[in-house]
Structure 1
Amino acid sequence: MFRAGVARTRLTPFWGVELTGWGYYLERRWQRVHDHLNATALAVDDGERTAVLVALDLMVIDDPFTKTTRERIREATGLPPGSILLTCSHSHNAPAAGGLLGVGACDPFYEDWASRQVATAAILAWRQREPATARAGHEDVSGLSFNRTRPGGVIDPRLTVLLINRLDGSPLAVVANFGAHPTVATELRPWDVSRDVPGMVCDGLEAALPGATALYIQGACGDVNFLREFSTPDRCDEPARRLVERALIALDRAEEMADPVVAAASETAVLPTRRWTREELEGDRREAERRLAADDIAGWRETIGRVMTNRPDDMVRRHGGDERKAVRAMCRFHLEWTARMLRDFETRPETLSTEVQAVRIGDLYCVANASEFFSPFALDVRQRAGVPELMLACYANGRIGYLPDEHDIAAKSYAGYQSPKYCDQFPFTPASGPRMCDAMLHVLGCCREMALTRCRRMENLVE
């Protein structure tokens, strides 16, 4: 029998914790709580296998956070780590649990507490499982987002939604998956704690489905933002309102699954990277040292700032309009990232190992990776997987930064050239994204095979 449980705990940080992203060395310690951050867990089983999805209202989590949290869940439930999926909303009005150099200091006490809160949500969801039914659907939603890396670039418009009902027909849990950078609220309230659009979607779904607890799974948004026109007080709720409307339409058409099968698979993908050259490292250091010594801000947009920010003028505004302060912060970053990399860049392996994971709940599949995934790769996975109800969970089980396509790698863009610096990694190559896609398809195939094995076994029992 299919069973499901859901639970939620708070992740709102205590006073003094910095929010992550949005600029270099801003010391963006939050000033107000606009809306609370949560960890929301959904646990499901089919009588044989169990899987747990946990949606975190954090910017990113790293491998140690994932490992520690999964171990806490395993100790209480006995669940294998590979059946536990942790994924972040990527709100820029939230802390991170796993440092990104220069874009928000992490607090070890908060990280440990957040891990315990995430584990608690998962454990409670697992303990509260009850007989349930499931249905899933999707809609393509246009007019909300755009590809920020190139004019006319592709996006993944797919909104996928899962509804879990109790046996009496009342809603228990709803999961929505869509990909777009959640920075609508950040533009308006950069010093507030907030879930941004993902939180508004959850609130809207819970209002429309009384009794349900909602999870938002962030999709492939490495190259995608919500339209900037939504970052105004009178329009900031539009993306969430439209996503909720379309989610309800998808669910209205969806049919109840017959005896949903649960499966989970996880493996390590080994992605090719390119070693930094000594000239690249020393070039960044020389420019930073020269500018700091001479207090020189001339032409920084064409040199030090070209890849450090997508929006140079906004970076100055985020430093209070002080251009010198913004340039000094970028120079500080260059000195710190190169000092860290120069220690061992010649001996590091020229590959990056990272987890990919898939979870199946009946007709719905969810495939996860730790990157800021680009849209062309998302569309490739969708096309090759051939699964109508497919969720892409990014920022999951770790963080490897942006996974750009060949276009951005060749352009040495923010995603292709800056992200590996604050992640303390080598840059990805044109082969990295396709390798990730292949790994994601492989774990999806493993989930299919597990389900087929169970079905064959059940057929044998019937015979």
Structure 2
Amino acid sequence: MNLRAGVAKIDITTGMQGVVISDPLYAKALVLDDGSTKAVIVAMDALAIGGLGDIKDDFMPKLRRRIENELHIPGGSVMVNASHTHPQGRLLCDDAEQVDRTFEAVRQAMGAMAEVRVGWGVGHEDRIVVNRNLKMKDGKHWSIRYAHPCPPDEDVSGIGPIDPDIGVIRIDRLDGQPLAVVYNFACHLLIGVPDRGVTANFPGFASKVIEETLGNGAMALFLQGAGGDILELYFKDVNRPRNCEPIGTMLGLAALRAARRIETGNARLSVLSETIRLPRRVDIPERIAERLRDQAELLAAMRSTALNFKTFLPMYLKYALHPDYPSDYGYRYMQEAQIGANELVAMDAHNRGNIERYLGNIHKMEKLIRIQEDVATLKHHLELNEEAGEPDIPAEVQGIKIGDGVLITAPAELLIEVGLKLKASSPYEHTIISAFTNGYMHYAPPVEHYGKGGYEVTECLLAPEWQRAYEDKANEIIRRL
């Protein structure tokens, strides 16, 4: 029997009055059936699948239970990925409607099944994202965030890696017309659109490019990758409008180029899903104390500032523009030197000292802002771990093999190094890492990041031992598929 597939999408955007909707959000469903195994892949324009944002923790069990009872597909064969589009407020319809509408997308997809052929490929796009963990000369990390300033350029030694690959699955009807394109990219969806309304962000624009170009009802499903520390390149740019459509267009075109190169054929399905327990971190109180000590040291060093901003700015500009002769024309300095006077030179030395002290305090202030953000984040995650009342967190790891490629999931914001490592160790030529899937437990950084102070380690519930436990299970499932 040939593989059969069906697709459908349902609008899940909030209906709240007064909310600006730039573009609708969807639950897009792909149902696959090879005669012996069924699988459901749902791509949702949402922040997370439970644990954060509009979707509650009971969404997945309710959706799976309904799919099992009414459509007779095992819950462990249902995969739901969140694009991680970031809200300016409420994004989605109410809780009960989320389940109803997502189920309806799956039901409609199942009712539209047709024989298909499947192929895998990979695209490339390295111009639109950057690793936000800046490597500092002191060995630490400083994450690019809107909540605090970037560090001085002279303190930065380098940046981390990105994953420019776009994993692509092309699904064609038997007449060769495309039914669906599933594409996977590691990124973070933050810039939004100029009117700052509800938006599917740049994968929404990418999917629109793919669907409008292919036509004939073809559907594009975006699966978020291991993008925990990956950021839009222009996220901090103050010289251009905050509009993600251009980078979405670039991503869509790159995925299309890859899809057109793919040859399709018959495929078999295999699905595995297991839940493991990942340890919660216990060092958060020590991390809070460490950051408060850093804060006290910086505050104690903020002394002896004679200037305020009104006097600092014109003086700073004057000395930056004319470092040799900042206070007057050069001939005045030459005349002083000729008669053995030193008034201008002495005044400049005094002013430069005040400028340096003021600048130093500005840099300390920027570090203090970051410390305050870190402490608030650490306290919040300490509360989450304490409220849980158990030393570990259940984490589902799911694998879906379609033909000669495999998808492997994680219910967390995997950082890029973890995703790259999984891809490198996979025996399959094509491996898609689908993070933000089937649950949400915040950031999952690699062991070597702990102690370096990046945002993803700060906003983290997991002890470093999580990585070994997760990777062992993910690699085992990949092999067993």
TM-score range, shorter chain: 0.7 to 0.9
Q: Secondary structure at the match of 1:124?
A: helix
**Structure 1 segments unaligned to the other structure (5+ residues):** 17-29, 95-103, 288-297, 310-329, 421-425, 448-463
**Contact map agreement 2:29 2:42 (CA 8 A) in 1:** yes
In structure 2, relative to structure 1, the CA distance for the partners of 1:145 and 1:167 (3 Å cut) is same
Cα deviation for residue 372 of structure 1 reads 0.6
Note the C-alpha offset of 1:224: 0.4
Tell me the matched-pair count.
381
Q: Is the 8 A contact 1:93 1:196 kept in 2?
A: no
Which 5+ residue runs of structure 2 have no aligned equivalent?
A: 51-56, 135-157, 295-361
CA change 1:249–1:340 in 2 (3 A) is: closer
Residues 6 and 110, structure 2, Cα contact 8 Å, conserved in 1: yes
Specify which of 415, 428, 436 is matched with residue 463 of structure 2: 428
Q: 1:340 to 1:170 in 2, by over 3 A?
A: closer
2:190 to 180, 183, 190: 183
The partner residue of 1:112 within 89, 96, 99 is 96
Equivalent residue, structure 2, for 1:200: 205
Q: Distance in 2 between matches of 1:115 and 1:371?
A: 21
Is 1:443 the counterpart of 2:451 in the alignment? no
2:44 to 56, 75, 98: 56
In 2, Cα distance between equivalents of 1:142 and 1:58: 24
The aligned counterpart of 1:402 is 443
Written as runs of structure 1 = structure 2, the 5 A alignment for 1:266-305 is 266-276=273-283, 302=367, 305=370
Which of the numbers 159, 170, 174 marks the counterpart of 1:167?
174
Do the aligned partners of 2:226 and 2:415 also contact (CA within 8 Å) in 1? yes
TM-score by length of 2: 0.72
Deviation, 1:230, is: 9.5
Match of 1:126 among 93, 96, 110: 110
> Distance between the aligned counterparts of 2:181 and 2:47, measured in 1?
22
Amino acid at match of 2:47: M
Q: Distance in 2 between matches of 1:275 and 1:214?
A: 42
1:83 matched to 2:77? The reply is: yes
Aligned CA distance change for structure 1 residues 284 and 123 (closer, same or farther; 3 Å): farther
Give 1:380's aligned residue. 421
Deviation at 1:83, TM superposition (A): 0.6
SS at match of 1:398: coil
1:308 aligns with 2:373: yes
CA contact (8 A) 1:282 1:338 kept: no
* Counterpart for residue 46 of structure 1: 34
Verify: 1:218 aligned to 2:224, yes or no: yes
Structure 1: which 4+ aligned runs deviate by more than 3 Å? 104-107, 229-236, 276-287, 298-305, 333-344
Deviates more, 1:225-234 or 1:173-182: 225-234
2: distance between equivalents of 1:129 and 1:214? 17
Of stretches 111-120 and 300-309 in structure 1, the one that deviates more from structure 2 is 300-309
Q: Tell me the distance in 2 between the aligned counterparts of 1:189 and 1:405.
A: 36
Cα deviation, 1:204-227, whole Å, max 9, x if unaligned, reads 000111120111111111010121
Instruction: Indicate conservation of the 8 Å contact 1:148/1:224, yes or no.
Output: yes
Q: Which residue is 1:252 aligned to?
A: 260
For residue 394 of structure 1, what is the amino acid of its counterpart?
A: A
Amino acid at match of 1:248: L
Aligned CA distance change for structure 1 residues 334 and 219 (closer, same or farther; 3 Å): closer
What TM-score do you get using the length of structure 1 for normalisation? 0.75
Secondary structure of 1:436 counterpart: helix
Measure how far apart 1:140 and its partner are. 2.9
CA contact (8 A) 2:23 2:200 kept: yes
Say if 1:153 and 1:11 are closer, same or farther in 2 by CA, change over 3 A.
same
